[in-house]
Amino acid sequence: MKRSPVEDWVRRYIGAQPEEDFQTAVAAYRLQALKATLHHARSQSIYYRETLKGIDPEELRRPEDLSRLPFITPEDLVLRGKEMICVPQDEIARIVTLPTSGTTGEPKRIYFTAEDQERTVDFFHHGMTTMTKPGDRVLILMPGERPGSVGDLLSRGLKRFGAEGLVHGPVVSLEETWERIRKDRPAVIVALPRQAAALVKFGLFHGFPPPPVASVLLSADYVPATVSRLLSETWGCTVHEHYGMTETCLGGGVTCDALRGYHLRDADLWFEVVSPEEDTVLPPGETGEIVVTTLTRRGMPLIRYRTGDLGRMTQAPCPCGGRLPRLDKVMGRYSKIFHFSGGGELSGAALDEVLLTLPGVIDYSMELFGEPGREVLSFHVRGLGGTVEEISRAVMSLLGGRGKPRLEVVAEYREDGFFTGALKGVFRDHRIATEACLRLLYRYCHSRETRRHCALVAAGALALAAELSPSAILSDTRFITASGLLHDIAKGRRNHDAEGARIVRDHGYTDTADYIARHTNYNPARGGFLSEEALLYLADMLLDGEASRDLEERLAETLRRYPQKEAEKPIRRRFRNAQAIGSAFLEATGKNARRIIDGLLKEEGY
């Protein structure tokens, strides 16, 4: 068994000498690279000048000192991503726009220079030699039509050692992709897990002989062990895994022939695993949220970015002879763990493990509805055959006897096709339960005054919604309740809107998290003047703690509290937006919003 080529690549890049202890050399290199990144980010980025204020990079002397730096969340990328750019705009070679969860989520935009992308091409060049040799053809079932896309970068990396990348793009038609496999006879296929599993099942269904594929590389989503086993047993190939994401410029780590975890881009990326609840760094072997810091990125460095993925580090020696710590198998998304009122639990990863290997299942989506004690799990399955009962039994086996929701399965039998646009698993939690929200609020928010304010904002927004005429937008009262109760869940923490959104998203409330991320700066011109979010924003602005206040009065007081010239414009904009919502409410109902809030406070005894 050959040693992972990724480690040799890292050794050469950092200039480690043969007589040096490799782990010590990597630790020293990463600390120096981190300091250089911090100096670059603080000097060039508006965002980092603010968030790293008071931190002297030269005082970071041990790897443990990385934990002194603040986290970046996906919400930070949405709200302030452009402020993280550290180079002139004409040096940006590629911008990737990613949709966020929820129906109204603003997109994330990630910015790369040509130099940033070159580092990924270099990683793909050396990482792909794990399973590919010169002269091999590699069929890439990933996006690749644009320069800088994953298929393009991968093809460029393959070309450097004499292999050929054939960019097919994601599977749209299973039949057409099989024809491509038969025609091109690739030695290696790169694919998303559920699409690779579908290709195998489609071939079995039609009696196709296994293709002459030596290796399959699965990437871009959770890789179920059952899918890897299905591929290896049916096609007789070795199944490798790659871990990466757009935020890491697509490359991250890849398994070696031992298949015992990912050998990482340690010269470019610094991985940590932290407790999602305590935000503390966890030792090797303990499972938590994967956090990544970029060490060589110039365009948009990311410092302690919370990925939302679950995993653990391992220091166990790799059978391939590798000596660096590795990232063990990624266990899925933290936000795709769903808890039920009766105590049961279900994860997207566990569902993939059982459903994607059922012979008749090509693709599926899951949605969760209802209230405590009356929850409904709804599945929409596309497949080649099989029974609804078979699918139901597989799902219920995961729940055992605990907190079972009612199950609904809609099966659509189509030989060739996925859900439109679905490359990864679709899991949506539509539950908004007051009890669950209160438990979250009390768990993370320890200020009695803040909790009272949150409860009043929820009640106030509901009271405003009840006054709207039938011709106005139909109010989603569950969304209003959850968003009101949780909007200040992280009050008192740095960037409390982004941090609160992260906490709430991690517990499955994606739409609520989207609102929390922008609740201090809601724009009615974009989100609506009588929407649920607008009513929440107005109630929050009318309530100063546990008392109602006139907007003009609050504006004057806020300007006195923050006299800095640069603060005046955003403060006035916030209050102007609240006044515009109040005017729209008055026009729609004929009632003054503050008087409704005052009536609520009187009823509640305030």
Q: What is the model's pLDDT at position 309?
A: 94
CB 521 within 8 A of CB 576: no
On whether the CB atoms of residues 81 and 300 are closer than 8 A, the answer is yes
pLDDT digits (tens, 9 = 90+) for 210-235: 999 999 999 999 999 999 999 999 99
**Cα dihedral across residues 228, 229, 233, 238: positive or negative:** positive
Q: Averaged over 337-364, what is the pLDDT?
A: 85
Q: Cα–chain-centroid distance for residue 405?
A: 26
pLDDT band at 525 (very low <50, low <70, confident <90, very high): confident
Phi/psi for 382 (5° steps) reads: -110, 135
Structure tokens at 71: 């986290």
Report residue 472's pLDDT band, with 50, 70 and 90 as the boundaries. Answer: very low
- Exposure letters 435-466 (e unless 16+ CB within 10 A, then b): ebbbebbeebbeeeebbebbbbbbbbbbbbbe
Instruction: Give the CA-trace dihedral at 601, 500, 432, 595, to 10 degrees.
Output: 20
First to last CA, the chain: 73
578 vs 508, residue with greater confidence: 578
Tokens 């994401």, residue located: 245
Mean pLDDT of the chain: 90
Instruction: Tell me what pLDDT residue 144 has.
Output: 94
pLDDT-derived band at 5 (thresholds 50, 70, 90) equals very high
Does pLDDT of 430 surpass 80?
no
Of the chain, the percentage scoring pLDDT greater than 90 comes to 64
- Residue 473: per-residue pLDDT: 42
Q: How many CB atoms lie within 10 A of CB 202?
A: 20
Per-residue burial over 307-331, b if 16 or more Cβ lie within 10 Å, else e, is bbbbbbbbeeebebebebbbbbbbb
Q: Which of 82-96, 142-156, 442-456 has the lowest mean pLDDT?
A: 442-456
Is residue 471 pLDDT above 60, yes or no? no
Q: Where is 569: in which H helix or E strand?
A: helix 565-589
- Note the pLDDT tens digit of each residue in 361-410: 888 888 887 765 678 889 988 888 777 888 888 988 888 755 578 899 98
Q: Which carries the bigger pLDDT value, residue 485 or residue 277?
A: 485
Q: Which of 489, 500, 368, 481 is nearest to 433 (CA)?
A: 481
Q: Which helix (H) or strand (E) holds 383?
A: strand 374-383
According to the model, what pLDDT value does residue 330 have? 96
Query: Element (H or E) spanning 369, and its range?
Result: strand 361-371
The secondary element (H helix, E strand) that includes residue 227 is helix 225-235
Higher pLDDT, 500 or 367: 500
Please say whether the beta carbons of 519 and 537 come within 8 A.
Answer: yes
Mean pLDDT of 560-570: 87
Amino acid at 58: E
Supply 90's token pair: 């004409």
E-strand ranges in 224-339 read 238-243, 253-255, 262-264, 269-274, 288-294, 305-311, 313-314, 326-327, 337-339
Give the pLDDT confidence score for residue 341 in this predicted structure: 63
Instruction: List pLDDT tens digits, range 326-344.
Output: 999 999 987 788 877 666 7
Cβ pair 147, 94 in contact under 8 A: yes
Which phi and psi angles does 429 have, rounded to 5°? -110, 110
CB-based contact 223:244 (threshold 8 Å): no
